[in-house]
């Protein structure tokens, strides 16, 4: 039996052998007391990479985003969010737990530009206290926000007294795609979250980065949310290896996503907007997507179903050219069957 081609997400990546060895050998302590040397090292690395004063190791990106929102805002406050933003559409904890009210602003392929923010604020009787950005933008297809766009929109927000949180779960994908230092994408935001458990291939964990005072308060928020961990150096060690060894290779994932998108765009019955394929995510529109996804799974190809007419594929280090070819051929076969040409 051939191995699965799993394109559901880059979260399915397994830790590398170097990560496993680092996890085995990691010195540990109680992180709630700030005594785990491996966690401390990872947090210092993360803060330095993003150009921030401090960082906080958190079990998940969802918790990191929630901790950021709860630290920046109070229940009843408003936050501007792109209308397809992951923090709103998928996570939901901004409303359910933090009690922060989202004001949705449509972006340009997921990007809230300075002009769009100014328009949203033009007739505001009360300016929201927080702006939430996302780079790369998941539901827009992995699209990137440039350093200039980030600087401009943050300038508008800060000029109106707003704070800015950046959901940068895949921010290293954005940096690699744009050919810029990751600091350029996060320096203007008050806080930035990124995951080490997606394309960077660590088994678990995210980092919340920001000013020292902000992170001190976020550390208390993490405790409220049940995110305080004890000998967490065992998993933090993998995050260190991820930052040291896995960033540059993300370009391979982007290359494979582009090739996959180009192959799929040639198949009758599929719609792929190649302009949105900027990193490692490919969005496909197709009639009766649930049936198509089920038939793909029967052929050993897994995709993520977003709606009755939309599915997502994400490339990662377990997807090479053979897997791209297998996925494209499976789509071709399934669409021929759907069209009655088998």
- Tell me the pLDDT tens digit for each residue of 48-72: 999 999 999 999 999 999 999 999 9
Q: Which of 290, 295, 316 is nearest to 305 (CA)?
A: 290
Residue 196 has a pLDDT of: 98
The whole-angstrom separation of Cα 27 and Cα 43 is 15
Same domain, 153 and 238: yes
- Assess whether pLDDT exceeds 80 at residue 342: no
- Assess whether pLDDT exceeds 80 at residue 89: yes
Boundaries of domain holding 268: 5-11+249-338
Same domain, 310 and 208: no
Same domain, 170 and 300: no
Residue 1 has a pLDDT of: 63
SS3 44: helix
Residue 276 has a pLDDT of: 96
Residue 341 has a pLDDT of: 60
Same domain, 76 and 202: yes
Query: The CATH number of the domain where 295 resides is what?
Result: 3.90.1150.10
Give residue-wise pLDDT tens across range 208-244: 999 999 999 999 999 999 999 999 999 999 999 999 9
Mean pLDDT of 174-188: 98
The whole-angstrom separation of Cα 74 and Cα 80 is 14
Mean pLDDT of 257-268: 97
Query: The CATH number of the domain where 114 resides is what?
Result: 3.40.640.10
Same domain, 157 and 97: yes
Same domain, 154 and 279: no
Read off the DSSP letter of residue 136: S
Same domain, 76 and 144: yes
CB 291 within 8 A of CB 266: no
Same domain, 148 and 39: yes
The β-bridge partners of 101 are 78
Give residue-wise pLDDT tens across range 17-41: 999 999 999 999 999 999 999 999 9
CB 12 within 8 A of CB 315: no
The β-bridge partners of 209 are 55, 192
Same domain, 160 and 278: no
Same domain, 206 and 266: no
**Radius of gyration (Cα) for the chain, nearest Å?**
20
Mean pLDDT of 304-317: 98
The mean predicted confidence, pLDDT, of the chain is 96
Phi, psi (deg, nearest 5) at residue 281:
-120, 135
Same domain, 217 and 201: yes
Same domain, 189 and 258: no
- Say how many residues make up the chain: 342
Cβ atoms within 10 Å of 123's Cβ, excluding its own: 6
Q: Based on the structure, what is the number of domains in the chain?
A: 2
């Amino acid at each position: 039996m051939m191995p699965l081609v799993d394109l559901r997400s880059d979260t399915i990546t397994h830790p590398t052998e170097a990560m496993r060895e680092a996890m085995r050998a990691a010195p540990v302590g109680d992180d709630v007391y700030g005594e785990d040397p491996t966690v401390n090292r990872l947090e210092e690395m993360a803060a330095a990479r993003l150009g921030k004063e401090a960082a906080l190791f958190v079990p998940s990106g969802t918790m990191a985003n929630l901790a950021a929102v709860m630290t920046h805002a109070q229940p009843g406050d408003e936050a501007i969010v792109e209308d397809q933003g992951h923090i709103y559409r998928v996570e939901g904890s901004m409303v359910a737990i933090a009690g922060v009210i989202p004001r949705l602003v449509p972006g340009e392929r997921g990007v809230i530009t300075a002009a769009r923010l100014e328009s949203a604020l033009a007739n505001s009787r009360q300016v929201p206290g927080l702006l939430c950005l996302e780079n790369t933008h998941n539901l827009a297809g992995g699209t990137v926000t440039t350093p200039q766009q980030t600087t401009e929109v943050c300038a508008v927000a800060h000029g109106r007294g707003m704070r800015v949180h950046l959901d940068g779960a895949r921010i290293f994908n954005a940096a690699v795609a744009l050919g810029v230092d990751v600091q350029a994408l996060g320096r203007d935001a008050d806080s930035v979250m990124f995951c080490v458990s997606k394309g960077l291939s660590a088994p678990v964990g995210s980092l919340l980065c920001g000013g020292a005072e902000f992170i001190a308060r976020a550390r208390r928020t993490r405790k409220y949310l049940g995110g305080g961990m004890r000998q967490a150096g065992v998993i933090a060690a993998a995050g260190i290896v991820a930052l040291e060894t896995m960033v540059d290779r993300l370009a391979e994932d982007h290359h494979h996503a582009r090739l996959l998108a180009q192959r799929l765009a040639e198949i009758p019955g599929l719609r792929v907007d190649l302009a949105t394929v900027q990193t490692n995510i490919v969005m496909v529109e197709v009639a009766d997507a649930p049936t198509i996804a089920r038939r793909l799974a029967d052929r050993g190809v897994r995709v993520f179903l977003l709606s009755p007419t939309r599915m997502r594929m994400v490339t990662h280090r377990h997807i090479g050219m053979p897997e791209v070819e297998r996925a494209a051929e499976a789509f071709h076969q399934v669409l021929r069957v759907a069209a009655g040409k088998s």
